[in-house]
Amino acid sequence: MTGRVVVIGVGNPFRRDDGAGPAVIETLRARVPDGTVLTDSDGEPGRMLGLWHRPDAVIVVETVHAHPGQPGRLHTLTAERAARLAARPTSTHGLGLGETFALAAALGRLPRSLSVHAVEGADFRLGCGLSPPVAGALPVLIRQVAGAIGHAHDRLRRDGHERMGHR
């Protein structure tokens, strides 16, 4: 079975910078190839695990806390790196992505490939709208995620051809 490309914007648009993930998803809606699943999530591990299947390529877009932080700074992490950071929560949610990925690994539910594209946030108070540093970083984050989507589709096509004996 060939997987899908699943892009998950994690966050809450009513907590200022925490809305960066959903904002990326909304911006990409008209720009992605067919076969791309775009969705939002509040980051709850059980719901996150239900968004993908093992053959999928998953791309997560998230806002993180960093100490010391540099609001607007971008990070790209593999699932393994995010799981190693589980001991040091960086997510704005109760359980971080690292814990979610560690749970997925323990349950045999990790997708074929998984990457995280994150922006460091500055303002997580109630309210709408991104802080200037995060809003300024959004165009680059969107380009990075769009590029990751294209690469994921290429890998899935290549893997599908190899499984069918075409090399």
Is residue 91's pLDDT more than 70? Answer: no
CB 152 within 8 A of CB 28: no
Is residue 156's pLDDT more than 80? Answer: yes
Is residue 93's pLDDT more than 60? Answer: no
Q: What does the pLDDT average to over 1-23? A: 93
Query: Vertex 63, ends 85 and 27: CA angle to 5°?
Result: 135
Beta-bridge mates of residue 75: 118
In tens, the pLDDT along 30-68 reads 899 988 999 999 988 889 999 999 999 999 999 998 778
Residue 8: exposed, middle, or buried by beta-carbon count in 10 A (0-12, 13-18, 19+)?
buried
DSSP state of 121: -
Q: What does the pLDDT average to over 123-142? A: 97
Strands of the sheet containing 57-64, edge to edge, are 36-41, 5-10, 57-64, 113-120, 74-78
Joined together, the tokens standing for residue 111 give 């997708």
Query: What percentage of the chain's residues is helix, strand, coil (to nearest 5)?
Result: 40, 20, 35
This model's pTM is above 0.85: yes
Average pLDDT, the chain: 87
pLDDT at 90: 47
Whether cis (ω within 30° of 0) applies to the bond prior to 55 is no
Query: Vertex 69, ends 24 and 133: CA angle to 5°?
Result: 45
Nearest to 52 by CA among 118, 120, 114: 114
